[in-house]
Structure formats: structure tokens, C-alpha cells
Chain A
């Protein structure tokens, strides 16, 4: 049983774990791209990638608010902005990847 009252089937724990997996993946996915940009000497892209990686790391920290909500039976559920932040992180990776691919193609 969940240690949180009135919540069956370990739902808060599963949701929290799902968030952690997603946030950690969002953080590490950019690292190889930054390394590639450094190798290709595309400094602006490497700098932007580093900022995006740090932003994704901040996402992991901000998740504690969501975990507080999950542990509070009276809290209303509002994961929208957290989901949007992950989508923004993905967009950064997508843009960085596409531009790096273009640089590689034109090299």
C-alpha cells in the first residue's frame, strides 16, 4: 500500500518515478550534443547547449513542487507547466541537433 492515505495502487510513487525518469533523460540527452559541438568548434551552439542542459537540471530541482502536490491529498493536480517545460527542453535538443547536423552536412 502507498504510505500516502486514500491513494490506491501506488499512483503517486509511480507518477513521481515517471517524472524523475523523464527529467533525468531530459538532462543527459543534451550532453553528447554539447561535446559534438565542442569537437566541431561551433562555440555558440555549445554555449547554448550548456545553458539548455543547466535549464534541464533546474527542471529536476523544480520537480520537488510536483512531488509535494503528489503527497498532498487536498492539492489540486496541475502538472501542465511541468509538462510544458519538458517539451521546451526537447525543443532545445531538437533545434540543437538539427543545427549541428546542418553544420556537419556543410562541413
Chain B
């Protein structure tokens, strides 16, 4: 690495200090992989948001049952929460890379799968109830 890099290490003022204030500089490739993983999580969050937004848009055009707005709302809230989870996961992984610790498990994956299953189950049950009533 060049002299500017070494000088930068001395004057490292990057934030958050909880990440950049510990350990040493990892291989840039690992850092960039971590960044791309965080962005992939962000896009997953946005897919959830897009689903919620699409459902709201359709429900305002058609006469969809009222509960569809609730499902859309849950998808939006879940997407927003997942986006922030991606930020936290990025920081945890970057810290692990810098301190040469084992990488933390992708716990958000379980929450996401659970949330999507619950949302799908809820939608299915409410649809069936609606179908049986009509």
C-alpha cells in the first residue's frame, strides 16, 4: 500500500468508531463483499416495500378487501425494519473482519423467512375467509 494510505491510517477519522476504531484494515475485497451483501439486504428490504406499495396502489384502484391494506402496511413496516437490520449487520461483519473474528451468522435471514411465511399465511387465511363469505 502507498504512503497516502499509511498517512490515512494515522489520521483515520472514519465513522462509526465502533467499527473503524478497532482492529486493522481488512483486505479491500472482503470489505467490498460485505458492502455488497449489505446492499443485497437493502434490495431485499426494498422488494418487501415494493410489494407493500404495489398492494396499496392496487387497493386504491380496485375494491379490494380492507385487510389488504393491513397486509400492505405489515410489508412496508417489515421492509423498513429490514433496511436498518442491514446497516447493523454491515457494522457487525466489518468489525469481525477488522478484528479477525469469526463472521456472525446471518440472523436476519431467519427473521425474514419467518416474517414472509407469517405474512403469506395471514394473507392466505384472510383470502380463504373472504372467499367462504362471498
Contacts of B39 in A (CB 8 A): 18-19, 21-22, 83, 86
A9 interface residue per 8 A CB criterion: yes
A78 to B86, CA, bound (A): 16
A54 interface residue per 8 A CB criterion: no
Task: Flag if B25 contacts A33 (CB, 8 Å).
Answer: no
Which of A14, A21, A76 is in CB contact (< 8 Å) with B8?
A: A76
Given contacts A9-B29, A32-B54, contact A90 B69 (CB under 8 A): no
A102 to B130, CA, bound (A): 20
Contacts of B46 in A (CB 8 A): 22, 25-26, 29, 90, 93
A68 interface residue per 8 A CB criterion: no
A61 interface residue per 8 A CB criterion: no
Given contacts A9-B29, A87-B83, contact A22 B53 (CB under 8 A): no
Contacts of A80 in B (CB 8 A): 14-16, 19, 90-91
Residue of A nearest to B11 (CB): A76
Chain B interface residue number, banded: 35 or more
Residue of A nearest to B66 (CB): A105
B56 interface residue per 8 A CB criterion: yes
Contacts of B45 in A (CB 8 A): 90
Q: List 16 A-B contacts (CB under 8 A).
A: A14-B32, A22-B39, A25-B46, A32-B54, A73-B5, A75-B8, A76-B9, A77-B31, A80-B90, A83-B86, A93-B53, A94-B79, A97-B75, A98-B76, A102-B69, A104-B59
Please give the residue numbers on chain B whose beta carbons come within 8 Å of chain A beta carbons, in ascending order: 1-2, 4-5, 8-9, 12, 14-16, 19-20, 25, 28-29, 31-33, 35-36, 38-40, 42-43, 45-46, 49-50, 52-54, 56-57, 59-61, 66, 69-70, 72-73, 75-77, 79-81, 83-84, 86-87, 90-91
| Contacts A11-B32, A83-B87, A98-B77 known; 18 new A-B pairs at CB < 8 A | A9-B29, A18-B35, A32-B57, A73-B5, A77-B31, A77-B35, A80-B14, A80-B15, A80-B91, A87-B84, A90-B46, A97-B49, A97-B72, A97-B76, A101-B72, A102-B69, A102-B73, A104-B69
Identify the 4 closest CB pairs spanning chains A and B, nearest first: A94-B80, A97-B76, A90-B83, A101-B73
